[in-house]
Amino acid sequence: MSHQVEFEKIAEDVKKVKTRPSDQQLLDLYSLYKQAVVGDINIAKPGMADMKAKAKWEAWNTRKGMSKEDAMSAYITLAKELIQKYGM
């Protein structure tokens, strides 16, 4: 299975976990996914009023400079851990 195919499959599978991961785990998944798919953050930082969007922006921004391939590998590893921990 190619790295890209594995990434796409695990991205779908992790959505099916039985228990909702913690907010921090979700932010980690989100930031790695965005870095793997888009690359470095390319949107303006949201205002203070939108706390959820701000948290997501800040999480993605921490991945700045990480290659898409490294982000994809880290995403796969984290998603597998979460699937094992929470079940599908």
pLDDT digits (tens, 9 = 90+) for 33-85: 999 999 999 999 998 888 999 999 999 999 999 999 999 999 999 999 999 99
| Rounded Cα distance, 63 and 21, in Å | 20
Statement: residue 1 has pLDDT above 90: no
| Rounded Cα distance, 49 and 84, in Å | 35
Do residues 13 and 88 lie in contact, with contact meaning Cβ atoms separated by under 8 Å?
yes
Nearest to 64 by CA among 24, 34, 29: 34
pLDDT digits (tens, 9 = 90+) for 6-36: 999 999 999 999 999 999 999 999 999 999 9
Please give the model's pTM, rounded to 2 decimal places: 0.92
Do residues 53 and 27 lie in contact, with contact meaning Cβ atoms separated by under 8 Å?
no
